[in-house]
A and B are shown apart, each in its own frame.
Chain A
Amino acid sequence: MHVHEHRVEPGDWYARCAELAAGGATMFDLLSAVDDPSAASIQVVVHLADIDRGERHLAWTRVDRDDPVLDSLVGLYPGASWHEREVHEMFGVRFTGNPDLSPLLTTGDMGFPLRRTTALPARIATAWPGAVEPADRPAAGRVAARPRSRPGPPGIAPQWQS
């Protein structure tokens, strides 16, 4: 199936998706987000499908990371409600017009778990197995050359590493 990609301004989000829905993309597949701290934004993506034509649409938009607000698509696709609820819980994006953004899993005391700047408690409490160096247990009677730089766990910010 051919995939059409669309880059949408956040202000045009609802209107553009309404256009796609009117154009035949009647099936809502998923809505999710990607945190992009380097651009101070959160990308939101929705995947829609046009079953009759066999075409798919991926619409992307960017919202401000410090004040992420976007129009809800519930008016177009009632099934989007659950996905927006998840994105709100995991990334903190507020969807105006969604009737129920209450969290599904979190208790609200750990920030937004899927933002890249949120420390995961399990990763702080667990010792990284990759810190082991075979040279730490050298051959008898020998002083092994220790590696100059010690790697840290990938994806874990230095301030969270013990």
Chain B
Amino acid sequence: MSVHGRIELTAANCTSCMLCVRECPTWCISLQAHQEVAGDPAARRPRTVNVLDDFTIDWGLCMYCGICVDVCPFDALAWGPDPVAATSAPGGLRHGIDKLEG
């Protein structure tokens, strides 16, 4: 059985589809992204991709239900073994991409 210590992010897999943010029952995930043109910009209909700017989980709100891990279609979220460390700073339980990447 895997250890549900925390939820880890693989930012390279994330397409900013917002599924995890919208499914989260405690509203603990927030995400910012913008769109960029991918491929040939001179094409008649240039393709755009979402680029992830910021991904934050507020561990003070998270109840470790794992719904975000289940709904992610791209395996960008997964359970990791390490528990979230305690903090004494206000907002210290809000972890961005740098802290969420395993």
Interface residues of A (CB under 8 A from B): 126, 128-130, 132-135, 137-139, 142, 144, 151, 153-154
Q: What are 22 pairs between A and B in contact, CB < 8 Å? A: A126-B27, A128-B27, A129-B24, A129-B29, A129-B31, A130-B18, A130-B21, A132-B31, A132-B33, A134-B16, A134-B18, A137-B32, A138-B34, A138-B35, A139-B34, A139-B35, A139-B48, A142-B46, A142-B48, A144-B48, A151-B22, A153-B27
Interface of B is mostly: strand
- Which are the 5 A-B pairs with shortest beta-carbon distances? A130-B22, A137-B34, A134-B33, A129-B30, A134-B50
| B residues neighboring A (CB under 8 Å) | 16, 18, 21-24, 27, 29-37, 46, 48, 50
How many A-B Cβ pairs are below 8 Å? 50
Contact partners of B33 in chain A: CB under 8 A: 132, 134, 137
Given contacts A139-B48, A142-B48, A144-B48, contact A134 B35 (CB under 8 A): yes
**A141 nearest in chain B by CB position:** B37
